[in-house]
Chain A
Amino acid sequence: MSDPKTTFTGYARYRATGQLAFLLHRITGLGILLFLLIHIVDTSFVYFAPELYDHAIQIYRSLPFMIGEIFLVWAVFYHGFNGLRIIIFDLWKPEWWEKDIAVKSVYWVLVLSILAWLPAAFIMGKAVIENHFLGG
């Protein structure tokens, strides 16, 4: 076991665009995984304990979870787009890791993930308002 403090201060100290992309990719990946683990278990309740499934869904319908869901969807867009960027660079175009393109593509992925997410966030935001503020 290495000293986790060294790794964490390393995250915070080393500042570069690639480092930003790396951190966001890592945080979104771990966040999605935490949700996925819970989500596979609660979905499997349809078979093992259907009444617990409806109870779990009830929790997902609460205001904090619906808002969390909107951000989770952004995390999936960001992680997916950035993952594709990494795969294309690593497996087909390693020369693109050359500084200029690598830095620009970080911002492109960030912008694209937000643009793709906005319509989804709008529709999901509407559902939040309809179900929690208009007595739906």
Chain B
Amino acid sequence: MAEGKVRTVQPVATSEARWWLWLRITGVLMVLFVFPHVIIKDVIVGVHNIDTEYVAQVWENVLVRVFDFLLLFTTFTHGMVGLRQVLMDFVHSPSGRKTTTWILAVIWFVVTVMGTMAIIGGVSLQPGA
């Protein structure tokens, strides 16, 4: 790269530009969800105090469920778009790129639906509990 001035270009509105922008939009939003989540669950509460009972208790508050849904949606979408970005460095043919994108989209959809169902459904009653 030349020293000094940075060359700026007007990006063309392709789908690649939209993926690029999406990584950045989710990136900004996620800061609001990822840092509180990690600091509360990993550092303050700790894995030895987390079990189904704990989850049932915090999910009594609907706002916590909304928070957890936004956390799930923004992080997993960002991560899968990020993985696509990485894979595009290896896959160059248009058909290969299309197939890769579709496989990632299916995984994204299945896992997001699983997580969302759990957040809406809540903790299932344990037999004998």
Check A26 against B86 for contact (C-beta < 8 Å). yes
Give the Cβ gap from A48 to chain B, nearest Cβ, in Å: 7
Contact of A120 among B27, B39, B82, B96 (CB under 8 A): B39
Interface size class of A (residues with CB under 8 A): 35 or more
Chain A interface secondary structure, helix, strand, loop or mixed? Answer: helix
Check A47 against B48 for contact (C-beta < 8 Å). no
| Residues of chain B contacted by A127 (CB below 8 angstroms) | 46-48
Residue of B nearest to A60 (CB): B47
Check B42 against A47 for contact (C-beta < 8 Å). no
| Residues of chain B contacted by A54 (CB below 8 angstroms) | 51-52
What's the tally of chain B residues with a CB closer than 8 Å to chain A? 51
| Residues of chain A contacted by B89 (CB below 8 angstroms) | 2, 7
**Residue A91 interfacial (CB < 8 Å):** yes
Contact of B47 among A26, A43, A49, A69 (CB under 8 A): A69
Contact of B118 among A30, A32, A47, A90 (CB under 8 A): A47
A residues near B (Cβ < 8 Å) are 1-2, 4, 7, 26, 29-30, 32-33, 36-37, 40-41, 43-51, 53-54, 57, 60-61, 65-66, 69, 72-73, 76, 80, 83-84, 86-87, 90-91, 94-95, 97-99, 120, 123-124, 127, 131, 136
Q: A30-B82, A43-B55, A50-B125 are in contact. List 12 more A-B contacts (CB 8 A).
A: A4-B90, A29-B86, A33-B79, A37-B79, A47-B123, A49-B124, A69-B42, A80-B31, A91-B24, A99-B3, A120-B39, A127-B47
Kindly list the 7 A-B residue pairs having the minimum CB-CB distance in the complex, ordered from nearest. A44-B118, A47-B118, A33-B79, A47-B121, A40-B115, A44-B114, A46-B123
